[in-house]
Chain A
Amino acid sequence: MSHIHPLNPETMPNEPEKATLEGKNKFLGLWFFLGGETVLFASLFGTYIALRNSTAGGPTSQEMFGLELVFIMTILLLTSSLTSVYAMYHMKNQDFKKMQLWLGVTGLLGLSFLGLEIYEFAHYITDYGFTFRSSAFGSAFYTLVGFHGGHVTFGIAWLITIMIRNAKRGLNLYNAPKYYTFSLYWHFIDVIWVFVFTVVYLMGKVA
């Protein structure tokens, strides 16, 4: 049994997330996955740009969008990216408690982002009658922004699962890659949001 890598070595390596072959694979696999996700969102953005003026007589982006709310949402999500960086920093310092703490903050920020997004959608639907079905613009808007929101939701569920699963046993070489890939995924969601903010909201308000 001697050479079986212990998952809880006496001294944790510097990069616990990439210390095992499984960890390296996960890390690389997630990067490739994000490459595919990029094309996925690029297709959605392309569709949205093609349809954003196809309002079919319904409300336009200029009429509806308010930048204040979206700005707050942006801040929330950007901050959550930062807190996940803190968490990874504590992972490298093997401070499991602090890592969980910052990840918890990340999750809460993500949840508040989602809450605001739901509020925003509800606002458009009730106040403007602007729905998924009202025009091609509506379909494209809710699909693009909704896909992003769906990714946030999935990310939060993922985060909660690994946080609960590992709460009692602390960091080891088996779960470190899981935390790390989550944080990569979370950054990606954040970057996508920056594009959503620019293409959908800024260009929608100004153009």
Chain B
Amino acid sequence: MSIAATQKRSFSAILWDYLTTVDHKKVAHLYLFGGGFFFLLGGLEALIIRIQLIKPMNDFISAGFYNEMFTMHGTTMIFLAAMPLILALMNAAMPLQIGARDVAFPFLNALGVWLFIFGGILLNMSWFLGGAPDAGWTSYVPLATDSATHGVDFYVLGLQIAGAGTLMSGINFLATIINMRAPGMTYMRMPLFTWTTFITSVLILFAFPALTIGLFLLMFDRMFGSAFFNAALGGNAIIWEHLFWIFGHPEVYILILPIFGIFSEIFATFSKKRLFGYTAMVFATMLIAFLGFMVWAHHMFTVGLGAMANSIFAVATMAIAVPTGIKIFNWLATMWGGSIKINSAMLWSLGFIPTFTIGGMTGVMLGSAVADYQYHDTYFVVAHFHYVIVGGTVFGIFAGLHYWWPKMFGRILNETLGKWTFWVFFFGFHFTFFVQHFLGLMGMPRRYWVFLNDQELDLGNFISTIGAFLMGVGVIMFLWNVIATAVKGEKAEADPWDGRTLEWSIPSPPPFYNFKQVPLVRGLDALWIEKTEGNKQMTPGEPLDDIHMPNGSILPFIMSLGFFIAGIGFIYQVDHKLWYIVLYGGMALALGTMVVRSLKDDLGFYVKKEELEREAK
């Protein structure tokens, strides 16, 4: 029995394996399960919101509960669903695409995923402990500083913990891509998904610290009596908006750029063509990322920054449409004249193009500062960002899951069910959000608990709610597909899609060391090049030799648990000083684990050459 093959193991052995894993492929599974769970939760919250808005003056839920609902929906979907699911795909595919055996910091990788999971749990505990946050996912002050329950405290600590994990992933991926590419894999030979992972990591690195500080200030104001946002003591509420959006706008590109990478892989693979305009794609991505830092104030046009500031930010905002347009045309040109195969992954990608283009168009409309005074805080904005985030990010995650599922789990998702899922979700999506453009233009504000009778808003809202349920059905179908595939899905070969990049040159799922011998890369689409020259496999870039691998560790889990406990202490020390015990206890656990980590050498282990040879027989 080979070391890579799965033996039948007891449940507790598997559990322990996942708790201590530092393998990027298993970390990807954890991100997937965690993110998938929160995606379902966020979807449930969305359905409750839509039920409340199915008819005028509805009283399905109370106004206060409605506020908690939309706050948690937005926060959950952005931070606990979309981000982790993207990180899942990055972890699953990127190291394989560059021919690496793991990421640069496997320990930090595991720490990142546990911080995310514990942060997510902490945030959601608020539901049972006196009320969830209710100041919107943007948590504007003074609404957030005045919010009476502990909800916003859970928001602050939950996001702080989860956000720290994301920041680590960003640093990790950057070091991985720079230092650990296979021989011959120059920057301009990297698959586009690796490129977008790289650039997204830069965005994470420079955007998240602004949120970190924003959250600290909010935490200090709410828990320790500081006065950053307290106008009575000279504080300034606008600072929060700046910090939040300096993070927030790059964040929307963090959500979309990796997805652009996924689509680039899929279009090239299933058109059997090299990606059109590869270089332009790389530079367009960089340009988008760069401009993404210059436009945050388009979320603040109505704040009153002045005509000059608004104009500058308006022009910068509209400029982003240019590189984005370049990308759209490159994808179209990739398909042009290709031998196109339409399967589920491809359907999601094809559906993305018109949907995202509409979202981009409304984006440019919103970017016109003058017009934005009309659109701002209406359902028009809600329609815009769902067209880009659902039509872009969520479609892309589904596409990426269909595409890489065989590599991640060794089985192919059912195609028939996959196609049905797409169509149901696609129509549900447009039913839900297309009408919201018009609801917004007719003046329906966002984040309101009810709308009035006789405002001609009834039909639109009704259609929207029906659409939301269709999307729900789509998600259930996907879930069904996942379960059915796990039970009796078709086993995947190493290269089920006739792929172009390195991840398809190794078994599905790969052995834990990924590459027995690191491959030699001779150009863009490294595997495809070998195929066109009639080679069955990649040429090895090194002789067969011992493989150095990192040790598993439970410390990331314990460290995250420590921060989680400390977070609870922070939240409740306002009520009673005894909670400081919990605070310091949690901190001691986290910092103590750090010291242990520092004191105990972790040299990894070697997979012996002989063992690898034996396995080859």
Taking Cβ atoms with an 8 Å cutoff, the residues of A that contact B are: 3-4, 7, 21, 24-25, 28-29, 32-33, 35-37, 39-40, 43-44, 46-47, 50-51, 54-56, 132-140, 143, 158, 161-162, 165, 174, 178
Contact = CB atoms under 8 A, between A and B. Distances in A.
A39 B210 contact: yes
Contacts of A7: 603
Contacts of A33: 171
Given A29-B105, A36-B171, A139-B221, 11 more contacts: A25-B179, A28-B175, A29-B104, A36-B167, A43-B213, A44-B213, A133-B226, A133-B227, A135-B234, A136-B235, A161-B595
A22 B438 CA distance: 56
B214 A136 contact: no
A60 to B, nearest CB: 11
A86 B288 CA distance: 43
A53 B497 CA distance: 63
A158 B178 CA distance: 26
B189 to A, nearest CB: 20
Given A35-B206, A43-B243, A47-B217, A55 B234 contact: yes
A4 B601 CA distance: 16
A96 B105 CA distance: 27
B171 A32 contact: yes
Contact of A47 (B172, B208, B232, B239): B239
B209 A37 contact: yes
Contact of B246 (A43, A44, A51, A158): A43
B598 A143 contact: no
B226 A132 contact: yes
Contacts of A140: 228
A136 B104 contact: no
Interface in B376-394: none
Interface in B176-235: 176, 178-180, 205-210, 212-214, 216-217, 220-221, 224-228, 230, 232-235
Given A37-B209, A51-B235, A4 B546 contact: yes
Given A43-B214, A133-B225, A51 B236 contact: yes
B13 interface: no
Interface string B584-595: 000000000001
List the 7 closest A-B pairs by CB distance, nearest first. Answer: A54-B234, A139-B226, A40-B209, A136-B234, A43-B213, A39-B209, A25-B104
A132 B180 contact: no
B206 A36 contact: yes
Nearest to B235: A136
Nearest to A21: B179
Nearest to B216: A143
A143 B175 contact: no
A51 B228 contact: yes
B146 to A, nearest CB: 17
Contacts of B239: 46-47, 50-51
B182 to A, nearest CB: 13
A4, A33, A47: residue with the most chain B Cβ atoms closer than 10 Å: A47
Contacts of B233: 54, 56, 134-136
Q: Is the interface of A mostly helix, strand, loop or mixed?
A: helix
22 contacts: A3-B546, A4-B548, A21-B180, A24-B179, A25-B105, A25-B175, A28-B178, A29-B171, A32-B171, A32-B205, A36-B209, A40-B210, A43-B246, A46-B242, A50-B239, A54-B233, A132-B226, A135-B233, A136-B234, A139-B226, A140-B228, A143-B216
A25 B181 CA distance: 12
A4 B178 CA distance: 23
Interface string B546-588: 1010000000000000000000000000000000000000000
Q: Is the interface of B mostly helix, strand, loop or mixed?
A: helix
Contacts of A139: 220-221, 226-228, 235
Contacts of B174: 28-29, 32
B172 A29 contact: yes
Contacts, number: 128
B599 interface: yes
Given A3-B546, A138-B227, A161 B210 contact: no
B598 A165 contact: yes
Contact of A29 (B175, B208, B546, B606): B175
Contacts of B210: 39-40, 43
A46 B217 CA distance: 13
Contacts of A25: 104-105, 175-176, 179-180
A134 B104 CA distance: 46
Contacts of B212: 40, 43
Nearest to A132: B226
Nearest to B233: A56
A28 B176 CA distance: 10
A132 B224 contact: yes
Nearest to B230: A136
Nearest to A139: B226
Contacts of A43: 209-210, 212-214, 243, 246
Nearest to A161: B598
B98 to A, nearest CB: 14
A50 B225 CA distance: 19
B545 A3 contact: yes
Given A51-B235, A135-B233, A39 B206 contact: yes
A137 B232 CA distance: 12
Contacts of A28: 104, 174-175, 178-179
A33 B242 CA distance: 23
A21, A29, A46, A162: residue with the most chain B Cβ atoms closer than 10 Å: A29
Nearest to B231: A136
A139 B239 CA distance: 13
Contacts of A143: 216-217, 220, 226, 228
Given A32-B171, A36-B206, A47-B213, A137 B546 contact: no
Contacts of B221: 139
A165 B209 CA distance: 31
B319 to A, nearest CB: 23
B546 A136 contact: no
Nearest to B550: A22
Interface in B235-271: 235-236, 239, 242-243, 246
Contacts of A32: 170-171, 174-175, 205
Contacts of B205: 32, 35-36, 39
